[in-house]
């Protein structure tokens, strides 16, 4: 005999499944942050394979775009300066890789669940990481195929954040749902 005094239970999927817009948003965010992590790994490990303008590796293209000089001349006349620049570039790659890993972790765990702090962390972190890379590219006049994708990645991130904002009608509903679970 069924117990009619028990309140009706929501199915597990209706309670925990984010709405369609949120699902699309976190996947977009994930792809963008995987992209910056992959770029960082490549810059740290294999910078000669990151193509810049004209199919040149990005580091020589950036040096030549910024200085107007020749990378091969720099390597010939001051090899330690060129090696030092490569070390700096590789460390910049490590920074991007580390940022990308952290952003991926935040996206997959907290942002996916709709936690407001994750929204803000991804807004600030991605704006700084992508903004810094895009500023560097403009300053050194070296925008190749990977660098052009930074604009696509940042647009995807801002689109995802717009759909999942933690204030207003959409955000208010999500935050109310979270507080009701607690």
Beta bridge partners of 57: 51
Of the pLDDT bands very low, low, confident and very high (cuts 50, 70, 90), residue 175 is: very low
pTM for the predicted model, two decimal places: 0.77
The mean pLDDT of the chain is 84
pLDDT tens digits, one per residue of 92-126: 999 999 999 999 999 999 999 889 999 999 999 99
Q: Where are the domains of the chain?
A: 19-181
Kindly give the residue spans of alpha helices, DSSP state H, lying in the chain: 12-16, 20-45, 58-67, 71-77, 79-106, 112-113, 116-139, 145-163, 168-181
Compare 178 and 80 and report the one with higher pLDDT. Answer: 80
């Amino acid at each position: 005999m069924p117990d009619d005094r028990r309140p009706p239970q929501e199915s597990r999927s209706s309670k925990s499944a984010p709405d369609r817009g949120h699902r699309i948003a976190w996947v977009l965010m994930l792809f963008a942050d995987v992209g910056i992590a992959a770029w960082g790994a490549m810059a740290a490990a294999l910078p000669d394979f990151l193509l810049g303008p004209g199919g040149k590796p990005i580091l020589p293209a950036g040096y030549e775009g910024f200085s107007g000089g020749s990378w091969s001349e720099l390597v010939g006349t001051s090899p330690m300066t060129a090696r030092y620049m490569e070390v700096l570039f590789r460390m910049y790659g490590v920074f991007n890789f580390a940022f990308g890993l952290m952003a991926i972790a935040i996206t997959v765990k907290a942002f996916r669940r709709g936690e407001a702090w994750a929204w803000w962390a991804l807004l600030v972190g991605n704006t700084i990481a992508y903004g810094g890379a895009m500023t560097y590219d403009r300053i050194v006049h070296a925008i190749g195929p990977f660098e052009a994708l930074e604009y696509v990645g940042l647009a995807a991130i801002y689109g995802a954040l717009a759909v999942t904002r933690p204030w207003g009608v959409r955000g208010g509903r999500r935050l109310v749902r979270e507080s009701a679970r607690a």
